Structure 1
Amino acid sequence: MVKVIVLNLSLLIALMYGLSLTYVHPRQFLRQQKLDAHWLLLSLAPILLMNFPITLSEGVFIDLRAVPVVLMALRFSPEWLVAGLLPAIMYRVALGGPGVMTGTISLIGVALVGQWLRQQPEVRQQALTYQVPLRKVLLALVPNALLLPLHSQDLTLYLTVYLPLLALCALAYVIAAMMLHNRYRLLHLFRLYEEQAHQDVLSTLPNRRQFDLDLHQLAPDDVLCLIDIDHFKVVNDRYGHQVGDEVLKGVAEAIASCLRRHDRAYRHGGEEFAAIFRNAAQADPWTLGERIRKKVGALHFSELGGAGVTVSVGIARANFESPDACFQQVDQNMYAAKQRGRNCTVASQALTPSAPPALSPEPEPYDRSSVPVSQE
C-alpha cells in the first residue's frame, strides 16, 4: 500500500510540475481563466490519478483525485469546472464497481464546496496565485471518501482510511500549491528584474539598454528621434542636482505625452532622450519633432522660479540601409540643431546616410522665460 501511495503522490507532483511549466508569464496567473493548457491538465489529472489507486476492496478504491478537483474549483468559473469535471466522473463510472456512486458523489461534493469557497472575494484573489490557506481547503476535501461506510461495515477500517486520506490530500495540496505559487513568484521576480534592467529609475522611461534593443527592430516606416536638453549643465550647476532631476522627470513626461500607445520614449543618457514612432509613414518627421520641442518648451518649473527649458531635436525616418546608419544621421541632425542656436528641430528624410539632412525651417526666437545661461 505504501508503494501505491508514494506512486500516487509522485504522479500528482509530476502533474503539478507540468502545470507550473505552462505558466510563462505572471499575468497568466491573474487573467480570467478559460480553456487553456492549465484547465486541460487539471481536467486530466483526476483521470490519471485514478489509474494508480489504493484498492480497499473489490470496486472500492481511493486516490488523490480530489486535489486537482479542488484546484480547478477554486480557479475556474462553474461552467469551466463542470466541463473539466465531467470527464473524471465519466471515467469513474466506466471503471464501475460498488464504489462508483460514492466516488462520483465525492467528486461532486469536493467541487461544490470548492466553488462555494470561490464565491468569497478573498479566496478568489488568493486562488489566482495558489495561496488559499489549507484550513479553508480542508473544507472542500472533507466530502472526499466521506461515504465510504456505505461499502464497509467495519467502522475501524473507515477511520483508519478516511482520516489518513484526508491528511494525505492535505499534504498533496500543500505541495501542489507551493510548487505553483513558487512558479508565480519566480516569474514575477524575473519580470520585475527584467523591467528594472531595462528601465531608467529617475524618469521611469526605458533606458539605453532597451533603446539599443529596439533600435535594431526599426522598420522603414518608423521615425527615430533624439532630444537633448539645452544648457542642462547650467541647470545642475546653478540650482543643484535635485532640481535637475525634477527637470529631467518633467521633460520625460512631456515627451511621453506626445507619443501614441505603440510609440516609445527612452532616456538615452544624461540629459538626452530618444523616441521611436512606429508605423509613421504618413507623418512628417519634422512635425513630430516640433511637437515634442513645443511640448517641452511649454513646461514651467517652480524649482526654476517659473522658468522652463528648451530642447534640440534631431529626427529622421528609419529608411536607411541599417539602424546604426539611421541613428548616426539622427545624431548628426541633433548636433546640427545645437549648432543652429538650439531650441529647434532638424529633420532628415534621406534614403542613404550620405545624403545631407533636410534642415527644418528657421527656429522660433529663443524663449526668454527659459533658464538664462551663457553660451557654452
Structure 2
Amino acid sequence: MLRELFFNLCLLISLHYLLRFTFRSWPVPRRGWRHALRLSALAAAGLILMLFPAPIAPGVQVDLRAVPVAFATLQFGPLAGVLVALPIMLYRALLGGVGLYAALPSLLGVIVATTLMRRVVPAVGPLFWRHWPGVIVMFAFNGVPLLFLPDGPQLFTQVYPLLLVMNVLGALAAWGVLSERFHVLRLTSQWQSAALTDALTGLGNRRQFDLDLEAMGPGDALLLLDVDHFKRVNDTHGHHVGDEVLQEIARLLEREARGRDRAYRYGGEEFAVILRDVKGDGLNRVAERLRSAVERHALRATGGTVTVSVGGAGWAALPLRQLVQRADEALYAAKHGGRNQARVWGIWSPTQGGDPASRTVLRRPQP
C-alpha cells in the first residue's frame, strides 16, 4: 500500500504542476468558461489518481482523489468543491464494491471540513504551508467511514494513519506548486498596475492611455481636459492643495463618465477620457457634463471655483496621432475662447469645401 500511495503522491504533484499553467492572470477568475475548464481539470486530476489506487481489501481502495476536491473548495468555495467531486463520485459508484459506502461519505466530509476551515486557512498563497494544522483538519474525516465496513476497525487501523499523512503531504506539496504560481501572478499584476496607474489620482497614466488609444474604433471618441489657471492654484494655496484638486477632478471624471468609458491623467494638470460607442450628440453632452461637474464640485480644497477647459474629437478612420491632435486643437480653442468651456472638433463634409485635412469646425455644445 505504501508503494501505491507514494506513486499516487508523485502523480498528484505532477498533475498540479501541469495545472499551474492554466492560471494566467491575477486575481484568478471565478466564473466564465475558463473557470469551468479549470474545475474540469481538477475533476480529471481526481479521476486520474483513481486509476492508480492502493487496494486494501476486495472492493476497497484508497488514493489521493480528495486533494483536488479540497483545493477547489478552499480556493473557490463549497459549490466548486461539489462540482469537482461529482464526476469522481460517479466513477466510484460505477466501480462499485463495499468500499463505496466509505468513499462517498469521506469525500463529502472533506468538502464540509474544508468549507469550515476556509475561515481559518487562507486561500493558497506563498505562506500557505504555515497553516498545516488546518490542512490536517481538512482531511481528518477522510477514511473514518471505513469503521462501518466489515472488518472496519482493522481496515481503519491499517489505512487511516498513512492515508491522512499522504493526503496532508500531497496537499502541502501540490498546493505549494500552485502557491508559487499565484505569487508570481500577484506580483506581476501589482507591477503592471503600478506601471500603468498614476500614483496621485489612481487613474490610468499616459502609458495606459497610449495602450487604450490603440484599441479605439468606430463610434469611440476622445476628450482632453486641462485645469484652468492651475499654476495659480499651486502658487496661492500650495502644491498639496493642487494635488487635492487633481484628486478631486479624477474622482469626478470617474463618477460622471459612463461606465464603459475610462479616464486618465494625461499630463501634469491634463486629463483624458476615452469614450466608447458614442452615438449622436453624445460627445457634446458628455464633454459639457464633465466640465459642469468640475465647475460645481471641485471647490473644497481652494474655497473657490476650479474649472477645466475641454476639447474633444470623434473617431473618423484617421491615424490616432491625428485624432489626438484634433482633440488638442479643440482644447486650445476652448482655452483661448475664454476657458471653462467645452469644444468639439466638427465633422467636415464636402458641402463645406476646402481641404478636409486642414478644416476644423469648432462649436460650443449646449448643456
TM-score calculated relative to the size of structure 2: 0.82
Could you tell me how far apart the structure 1 residues matched to 2:69 and 2:365 are? 71
- 1:121-200 equivalences in 2 (<5 Å): 123=118, 126=121, 129=124, 133-146=131-144, 147=146, 159=157, 161-200=159-198
Question: For the Cα contact (< 8 Å) 1:74–1:124, is it kept in 2?
Answer: no
In the other structure, the counterpart of 1:108 is: 104
Tell me by how many angstroms 1:137 deviates: 3.9
Of the structure 1 ranges 105-114 and 56-65, higher mean CA displacement relative to structure 2 is found in 56-65
Cα distance per residue 1:250-269 (max 9 Å; x no partner): 22222233210001111001
**Partner AA of 1:311 in structure 2:** V
The amino acid of 1:360's aligned partner reads R
Say whether the 8 Å CA contact 2:107–2:142 is kept in structure 1.
Answer: no
Q: Distance in 1 between matches of 2:364 and 2:357?
A: 21
1:59 Cα deviation from its structure 2 partner: 5.8
Alpha carbons 1:69, 1:110 under 8 Å: kept = no
Residue 312 of structure 1: which of 309, 313, 324 is its match? 309
Identical-pair percentage = 35
1:293 aligns with 2:296: no
Asked if 1:340 corresponds to 2:343, the answer is no
Structure 1 residues 279 and 15: CA distance shift in structure 2, 3 A = same
Q: Per the alignment, do residues 115 and 234 of structure 1 end up closer, same or farther by CA in structure 2, a change over 3 Å counting?
A: same
Q: What stretches of structure 1 of length at least 5 have no aligned partner? A: 365-376
Gaps of 5+ in 2: 349-354
Letter in 1 for 2:118: V
1:210 to 196, 208, 211: 208
Q: Is the 8 A contact 1:73 1:81 kept in 2?
A: yes
Counterparts of 1:341 and 1:41 in 2: how far apart (Å)? 63
Cross-structure match for 2:242: 244
Structure 2 CA distance for aligned equivalents of residues 328 and 34 of structure 1: 40
SS of match in other structure, 1:36 = helix
The one-character-per-residue Cα deviations of 1:3-51 (angstroms, maximum 9, x if unpaired) are 6444321211122223333333334365699981232122222321122
- CA contact under 8 A between 2:311 and 2:328: conserved in structure 1? yes
CA spacing shift, 1:300–1:72, aligned 2, 3 Å: closer
Q: Is 1:274 matched with 2:272?
A: yes
Contact preservation (8 Å) 1:33, 1:76: no
Could you say if the C-alpha distance between residues 91 and 176 of structure 1 is closer, same or farther in structure 2, counting changes exceeding 3 Å? same
Code of the residue aligned with 1:346 in structure 2: it is R
CA drift at 1:84? 4.2
Measure the CA separation in 1 of the matches of 2:356 and 2:12. Answer: 61
| Cα distance between partner residues in 2 of 1:249 and 1:153 | 68
Structure 1 letter corresponding to 2:9: L
Counting matched residue pairs gives: 357
- The alpha-carbon deviation at position 75 of structure 1 amounts to 5.9
Tell me the residue number matched to 1:258: 256
Higher alpha-carbon deviation: 4-13 or 317-326: 4-13
> 1:333 Cα deviation (Å)?
1.6
TM value normalised by structure 1:
0.80
Corresponding residue number in structure 1 for 2:359:
356
1:22-37 equivalences in 2 (<5 Å): 22-28=22-28, 36-37=36-37
Once residues 17 and 109 of structure 2 are traced to their aligned partners in structure 1, the CA distance between those partners, rounded to angstroms, is 25
